[in-house]
Structure 1
Amino acid sequence: MADTSLPAHVPFTTEPLGLWGSLRAARRNLLEILPELAVRQPMVSGRTGLRWHMVMEPGAIRRVLLENVDNYPKSRATKNILRPAIGESLFIAEGAHWRWQRRAVAPVFSHRNMAALAPVMSAAADRSAARIAGAGERAVDFLDEMVRTTFDVIAEVTFSGEGAFDSAAVHRAIDAYIAEAGRISLLDMLGMPDWMPRPGRLRSGKVVGQMRRIADQAIEARRLRGAADVPDLLDLLMAGRDPESGRRMTTSELRDNLLTFIVAGHETTALTLAWSLYLCAFDPAVQARARAELDSVLGGRPATAADLGRLVFLRQIVDEALRLYPPAGILSRSARAADQLCGREVRPGDTVMIPIYALHRHRQLWQAPDAFRPERFADRDAIDRYAYLPFGDGPRICIGASFAIQEALLILATLMARFRFDLVPGRPPEPVMILTLRPDTGMWLRAAAL
Structure 2
Amino acid sequence: MTQMPPPGVPVQVPLVTEPMSLWASLQATRRNVLSIIPEIATKQPMVSGKTGKRWHMVMDPGAIRRMLLENLDNYPKSLVTKNLLKPAIGDSLFIAEGAHWRWQRRTAAPVFSHRNVMNLAPVMSAAAQRSIDRIRQIGPRAVNFLDEMVSVTFDVISDVTFSGDSTFDRDGVHKAIDAYISEAGKVSLFDILGAPDWVPRPGRAFHAGGVNQMKDMADRAIAARADRPAEGVPDLMDLLQVGKDPETGRSMSPSELRDNLLTFIVAGHETTALTLSWSLYLLAFDQEAQDRVRAEARALMTGETVSGDDVAKLPFTRKVIDEALRLYPPAGMVSRTARAADELCGREIRKSDTVIIPIYALHRNHLLYDSPHAFRPDRWEQKPERYAYLPFGDGPRICIGASFALQEAIIILASLVANFRFTAVKGRDPEPVMILTLRPNGGVWLEAEPV
TM-score, normalised via structure 1 length: 0.96
Q: 1:149 aligns with which of 152, 170, 183?
A: 152
Match of 1:410 in 2: 411
Match of 2:163 in 1: 160
State the distance in 1 between where 2:394 and 2:184 align: 26
State the distance in 1 between where 2:437 and 2:189 align: 19
State the distance in 1 between where 2:161 and 2:18 align: 46
The reply on whether 1:20 has 2:23 as its aligned counterpart is yes
Give CA-to-partner distance per residue, 1:292-327, whole Å, 9 cap, x none.
222333366631111111111111111111111111
- DSSP 3-state at the match of 2:227: helix
- DSSP 3-state at the match of 2:300: helix
Residues 211-230 of structure 1 aligned to structure 2 (within 5 Å): 211-230=214-233
- DSSP 3-state at the match of 2:165: coil
Match of 1:70 in 2: 73
State the distance in 2 between where 1:299 and 1:241 align: 40
State the distance in 2 between where 1:299 and 1:238 align: 36
Q: Which amino acid aligns with 1:127?
A: R
Shift of 1:51: 2.0
Q: 1:206 aligns with which of 198, 206, 209?
A: 209
State the distance in 2 between where 1:349 and 1:87 align: 25
- DSSP 3-state at the match of 1:221: helix
State the distance in 2 between where 1:268 and 1:128 align: 18
Q: 1:317 aligns with which of 317, 320, 331?
A: 320
- DSSP 3-state at the match of 1:431: strand
| Alpha carbons 1:271, 1:327 under 8 Å: kept | yes
State the distance in 1 between where 2:68 and 2:225 align: 37
State the distance in 2 between where 1:72 and 1:430 align: 31
| Alpha carbons 1:77, 1:184 under 8 Å: kept | no
- What are structure 2's unaligned runs of at least 5 residues? none
Q: Which amino acid aligns with 2:33?
A: L
Shift of 1:190: 6.5
Shift of 1:338: 0.9
Q: Which amino acid aligns with 1:261?
A: F
- Among all aligned residue pairs of Structure 1 and Structure 2, give the percentage whose two residues are the same amino acid: 66
Match of 2:191 in 1: 188
| Alpha carbons 2:186, 2:435 under 8 Å: kept | yes
Q: 2:299 aligns with which of 296, 299, 318?
A: 296
Aligned residues: 448
Shift of 1:187: 5.1
Match of 1:34 in 2: 37
Match of 1:399 in 2: 400
The reply on whether 1:305 has 2:315 as its aligned counterpart is no
Aligned-residue CA RMSD (Å) = 1.6
| Alpha carbons 1:420, 1:449 under 8 Å: kept | yes
TM-score, normalised via structure 2 length: 0.96
Give CA-to-partner distance per residue, 1:173-223, whole Å, 9 cap, x none.
011111221112465367443366757555421111111111111111111
Residues 7-406 of structure 1 aligned to structure 2 (within 5 Å): 7-185=10-188, 188=191, 191-194=194-197, 202-298=205-301, 302-380=305-383, 383-406=384-407
Q: Which amino acid aligns with 1:390?
A: P
Q: Which amino acid aligns with 2:264?
A: F
Q: Is the alpha carbon distance of 1:78 and 1:169 closer, same or farther for their aligned partners in structure 2, counting shifts above 3 Å?
A: same
State the distance in 2 between where 1:79 and 1:355 align: 19
